[in-house]
């Protein structure tokens, strides 16, 4: 009988076991390398969903977890016939939109008076196709500032719109197509911007001296005395720091502003209607923002002009109370201009597609693309106050194109 060498057998088994462990380790490592991109994408998607949930929780100030529900979207796309405007002798300059999906068109009209030159006409292009022009006109200076996009426009939901530049301010009645009120600025101030409050009793005035608040004086000629809220500051190098682009909070208790050092965005902030309560948000340095209906700041910024992974677009919600920025969307697409709906639900964003410009309407919570279209150029785009409609004015297929997108949705 042959005696078995137990020691040799043990060594052989140990060697085979180590080889088996090495093979298993190699297979596990290779598998992890192969599936790691998938795991990465799953983690990013998970984080994005939680970012959206966190931002909603911060905005509603509730201690409950919000559930993101998908929405079923539908839309109607309607083109407006610009030949009707041309036949009236008008040239479209820019366009806005109402909750009824009517187009508010600011048009130029050539006059025979050389001193007067072109004048500004307002036209209501109604949803059912009827054209209602304002039979009077606004001054040539109004037209110049609208062309240069150096004017203030505010839609009041109740059929009134407010228009102002550095000289004049009017409240316009769209229902009756007439001027409801003319507002007068205080004398002795070099005014850049004037924004009417939500209750229409006060004006936020950006002047060369700083930010002021004033009672909204109408044609009655009431004498008012503006109250200084923030002073303009000029350093020894001649750089002037000035708050611009004021926005009233929904309750008219605060005025939000962008703080400029000449042309550089230094920060953002808000001030109550009295001295001593001014707050600055340095975390919003070099960042653009919109103030939503609930007082939340919706911020956004983009870097780089090239279509590559070096681009970065970010947008989200800034919590004023704890100074926290919560991203809602991060993208490698360079969006060079955006508009956000009044409740912060939808984003309309412009990007480049080769030599074309692309407009995309996006559900911010779910990141779902609702609508997109290509144009040679886009002059204006805007949401209606109720978020349901958007107007687009641009150059499409070699022709000027004006269209309204009526969006509808239901929660799943």
pLDDT in tens, 289-346: 999 988 889 999 888 766 555 678 999 999 888 888 999 999 888 899 999 999 999 9
User: Does 377 map to a domain?
Assistant: yes
Residue 19 in any domain: the answer is no
The CATH number covering residue 307 comes to 2.130.10.10
- Per 3-state DSSP, what percentage of the chain is helix, strand, and coil (rounded to 5)? 15, 45, 35
Contact residues for 398 (Cβ-Cβ < 8 A; gap 6+): 376
CB-based burial label for 401 (10 Å; 0-12, 13-18, 19+): buried
Inside any domain, residue 244: no
- pLDDT given at position 399: 95
Instruction: Decide if 154 contacts 196 (C-beta within 8 A).
Output: yes
- For 344, residues 6+ apart whose C-beta sits below 8 A from its C-beta are 59, 292, 296, 298, 317, 364
Q: What is the pLDDT, as a whole number, of residue 393?
A: 97
The answer to the question of residue 327 being in a domain is: yes
Give the containing element (helix H, strand E) for 145.
helix 140-147
Is residue 307 domain-resident? yes
**Domain membership flag for residue 382:** yes
pLDDT at 164: 96
Alpha-carbon distance 271 to 79, whole Å?
Answer: 42
What is the pLDDT, as a whole number, of residue 58? Answer: 37
Question: Could you tell me if 140 and 147 are in contact, meaning their C-beta atoms sit under 8 angstroms apart?
Answer: no
Domain count, the chain: 1
Q: What is the pLDDT along the chain (412 residues), one digit of tens a residue?
A: 444 454 454 444 455 556 666 666 667 666 666 666 555 445 444 444 333 333 333 333 333 334 556 678 899 999 999 999 999 999 999 999 999 999 999 999 987 766 667 889 999 999 888 899 998 888 888 999 999 999 999 999 889 999 999 999 999 999 999 999 999 888 889 999 999 999 999 999 999 999 999 998 766 555 568 999 999 998 878 889 999 999 999 999 999 999 999 888 888 999 999 888 899 998 888 888 999 988 889 999 888 766 555 678 999 999 888 888 999 999 888 899 999 999 999 999 999 999 999 999 999 988 999 999 999 999 999 999 999 999 999 999 999 999 999 998 887 6
Per the CB < 8 A criterion, the answer to whether 380 and 94 are in contact is yes
- Residue 310 domain flag: yes
Q: Is residue 390 part of a domain?
A: yes
Q: Based on DSSP, count helices (H) and strands (E) in the chain, helices before strands.
A: 3, 29
Q: pLDDT value at position 41?
A: 45
Residue 362's domain spans which residues?
287-412
Instruction: State the pLDDT at residue 212.
Output: 96
Q: What is the pLDDT of residue 223?
A: 58
Tens of pLDDT, residues 291-306: 998 888 999 988 876 6
Residue with tokens 């088994």: 13
């Amino acid at each position: 009988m042959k005696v078995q060498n137990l020691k040799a057998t043990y060594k052989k088994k140990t060697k085979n076991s180590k080889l088996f462990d090495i093979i298993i380790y190699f297979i596990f490592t290779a598998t992890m390398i192969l599936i790691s991109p998938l795991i990465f994408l799953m983690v990013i998607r998970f984080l994005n969903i939680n970012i959206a949930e966190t931002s909603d929780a911060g905005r509603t100030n509730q201690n409950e977890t919000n559930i993101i529900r998908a929405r079923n979207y539908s839309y109607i796309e309607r083109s407006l016939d610009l030949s009707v405007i041309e036949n009236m002798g008008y040239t479209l300059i820019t366009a806005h939109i109402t909750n009824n999906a009517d187009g508010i068109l600011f048009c130029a009209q050539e006059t025979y008076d050389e001193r007067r030159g072109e004048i500004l006409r307002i036209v209501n292009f109604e949803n059912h196709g009827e054209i209602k022009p304002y039979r009077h006109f606004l001054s040539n200076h109004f037209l110049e500032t609208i062309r240069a996009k150096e004017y203030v426009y505010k839609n009041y939901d109740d059929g009134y719109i407010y228009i102002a530049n550095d000289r004049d301010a009017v409240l316009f009645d769209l229902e009756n197509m007439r001027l409801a009120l003319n507002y007068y600025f205080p004398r002795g101030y070099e005014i850049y911007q004037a924004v009417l409050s939500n209750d229409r009793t006060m004006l936020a005035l950006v002047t060369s001296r700083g930010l002021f608040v004033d009672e909204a004086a109408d044609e009655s000629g009431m004498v008012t005395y503006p109250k200084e809220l923030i002073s303009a500051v000029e350093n020894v190098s001649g750089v002037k720091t000035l708050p611009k682009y004021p926005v009233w909070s929904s309750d008219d208790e605060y005025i939000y502003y962008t703080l400029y050092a000449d042309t550089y965005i230094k920060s953002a902030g808000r001030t109550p209607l009295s001295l001593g309560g001014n707050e600055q948000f340095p975390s919003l340095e070099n960042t653009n923002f919109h103030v939503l209906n609930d007082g939340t700041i919706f911020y956004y910024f983009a870097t780089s002009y090239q279509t590559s992974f070096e681009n970065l677009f970010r947008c989200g919600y800034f919590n004023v109370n704890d100074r926290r920025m919560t991203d809602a969307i991060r993208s490698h697409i360079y969006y060079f201009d955006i508009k956000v709906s009044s409740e912060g639900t939808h984003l309309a964003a412009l990007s480049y597609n080769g030599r074309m410009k692309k407009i995309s309407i996006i559900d911010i919570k779910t990141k779902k693309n609702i609508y997109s279209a290509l144009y040679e150029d886009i002059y204006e785009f805007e949401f209606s106050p109720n978020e349901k409609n958007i107007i687009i004015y641009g150059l499409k297929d070699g022709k000027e194109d004006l269209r309204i997108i009526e969006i509808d949705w239901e929660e799943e």
